[in-house]
Amino acid sequence: MFDNVPDDGTGYVLAAYIFFLLMILIYIGILGAKFQRINREVGQLADEVETGKIGKPDKPATEESEPVREESSV
């Protein structure tokens, strides 16, 4: 496969840079899929709250129930 690469190393240089580019693109794709999943989960939660599946307790919330706190940013 690498027998046809020119002697000056152009093919190797190209291979290294293309590998790097592909790797970053794949990684960004994985991150994008992760964010899509989070987005889907948020949508599901919103749907469940709106349709009353969760968030409407049968009995009033007790004092032990933890309020939802705001997440601190990094």
Residues lying near other proteins in the complex (CB under 8 A) are found at 2, 8-10, 12-13, 15-17, 19-20, 23-24, 27, 31, 34-35, 38, 41-42, 45, 48-49, 54-59, 61, 65-69, 71-74
Minimal distance, residue 4 CB to other proteins, in Å? 14
- Contacts for 55-60 with beta carbons within 8 Å, 24 or more apart? none
Minimal distance, residue 42 CB to other proteins, in Å? 6
Coil vs helix vs strand at 67: coil
For the record, the structure tokens of 47 come out as 């749907």
For the record, the structure tokens of 54 come out as 């969760």
